């Protein structure tokens, strides 16, 4: 991502980020359509988002499946936190 940010040289009007919660390890997000054992942690995804540079003009969080979110709404909470982080990044 840093290489991409350098190559655009600030010429980009903005980007759209899509976070697919399927990338998260089921220990952090069991309520997804396709689990990925050995996937990323929530902290890994936050670090990626915080290190992205450039103007964020749109974002989405996809593949949350409430029918599979059986651990006290844990995945819903993770998805909501990701939305909050993306909105905060857009407001800068």
| Tens of each residue's pLDDT in the chain, 92 residues | 455 455 555 566 788 999 999 999 999 999 999 998 999 999 999 999 998 888 889 999 999 999 999 889 999 999 999 999 999 999 88
24, 39 Cβ separation under 8 angstroms: yes
Full-prediction pTM beyond 0.85? no
The helix or strand, by DSSP H or E, that contains position 87, with its residue range, turns out to be helix 74-91
- Measured between alpha carbons, how far is 55 from 10 in angstroms, rounded to an integer? 9
56, 86 Cβ separation under 8 angstroms: yes
40, 24 Cβ separation under 8 angstroms: yes
Identify the bridge partners of residue 38 per DSSP, sorted by sequence position: none
């Amino acid at each position: 991502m840093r290489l991409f940010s350098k190559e655009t040289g600030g010429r980009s009007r903005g980007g759209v980020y899509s976070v697919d919660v399927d990338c998260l390890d089921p220990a952090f997000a069991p309520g997804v359509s396709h689990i990925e054992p050995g996937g990323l942690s929530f902290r890994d995804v936050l670090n990626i988002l915080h290190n992205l540079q450039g103007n964020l003009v749109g974002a989405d969080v996809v593949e949350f499946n409430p029918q599979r979110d059986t651990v006290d709404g844990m995945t819903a909470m993770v998805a909501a936190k990701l939305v909050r982080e993306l909105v905060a990044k857009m407001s800068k």
